[in-house]
Amino acid sequence: MLVKEVRATIEKYNKKELEGIVVELYKQVPKTKKESVDEYLKDINAHKKIAFEKESLPYEEECARYDRFIALAKAGYYASPNRIVAKSERQKWRSLVRHYYKLFAAHNEEIDRLADLFKVLSKGTRELVFTTWNTFKACGVAQEEYYALIVERVLKSGFTKQNLELLVALINVDRDDSANLSYVLSHKMPTIDTKEMLIEAIDASYDKDLYLIKNTREYMNYCYCNWHNEKVEAVTVLYFDLCEEKMAERYFKNNYYEKSIYHKTRSYLDFLRRHNFKEQFLTEYERLEPKLDKEGNDRYLYNYYLELIQDSSQAKD
């Protein structure tokens, strides 16, 4: 029955009959639910008081509750049925994630728990940490937006080597909708000095990247390759920003992980196309032309860029 039908049905019973109904219904309540029902019977407004108390917990207690929640999530207790976390509690993970994200985002000094939650949500895009892989959608914030908040929060204390290394380490996480975290970080570098510092920090992460690439297989190997190459592309863009075009090309070709030289140069051509580096695309295409499909998209784009550059030169004359 609907609630309004229940109300209409019980109207015909007197007080004593209603008491009997309540007792019989209570006998049918599962043991796991009896505690909350007991609280309600003792005080009909208990659920309202509990809700109010949850909204006004001290920050330290909120953190303690978060620590327990995230520990259980990491252990897999929010992903499948178990005796540690009841089904009713597992179903609340979305509201808990949103609550803790807003809580930590509102506390300007909080970094560790904000980053910790980010890593757990990122892991959840590949593994069932919760009941869905759309963890950031459930949180109500895109993965790039979440990472950008962490970047801004960390860099408030300065563009130090330690801070940049921390942010670079957070790039190697599973992705939601192919989010590009390297570019998020590189776009936050306002000066020549900070761009150069970020290049050094990313360079320092390559040994670990290559170790993981060479010692993993299948899906994770594919992920590590993508994350590494994403960082290489971000640094290449930084070199273009620094007006060091030759260094940008050399850096890409020396560090981009690809098994064949041809595919590495092919990837560089694709990189130039995606970033609309017209003149560099023309030069690279002319160098690779004998090996390329002259009737394909590369040839079409080459002619298009060539026409744009020629028109631009004529306009200047």
Measured distance CA(306)–CA(286) in Å, rounded: 11
Residues 190-237 have pLDDT tens digits of 999 999 999 999 999 999 999 999 998 888 898 999 999 999 999 999
Q: Helix 46-55 crosses helix 31-42 at what angle (to 10 degrees)?
A: 100
Residue type, 47: H
Measured distance CA(218)–CA(121) in Å, rounded: 22
CA count, 13 A, side-chain hemisphere, 56: 6
Q: Could you tell me the two tokens for 149?
A: 């908040």
> Mean pLDDT over residues 5-16, rounded?
82
- Its pTM stands at 0.76
User: Which position has the token pair 């109500």?
Assistant: 140
Greatest CA separation found in the chain?
A: 100
**Nearest-10 Cα torsion for 154, 158, 162, 168:** 50
Measured distance CA(101)–CA(95) in Å, rounded: 10
Determine the pLDDT at residue 292.
Answer: 65
Nearest to 232 by CA among 217, 210, 211: 210
Nearest to 279 by CA among 235, 240, 233: 240
Beta carbons of 33 and 47 less than 8 angstroms apart = no
Residue 35 has pLDDT above 70, yes or no: no
Residues 225-241 have pLDDT tens digits of 999 999 999 999 999 99
- Which residues, other chains included, contact 170 with Cβ-Cβ below 8 Å and sequence gap of 6+? 115, 118, 119, 147, 150, 181
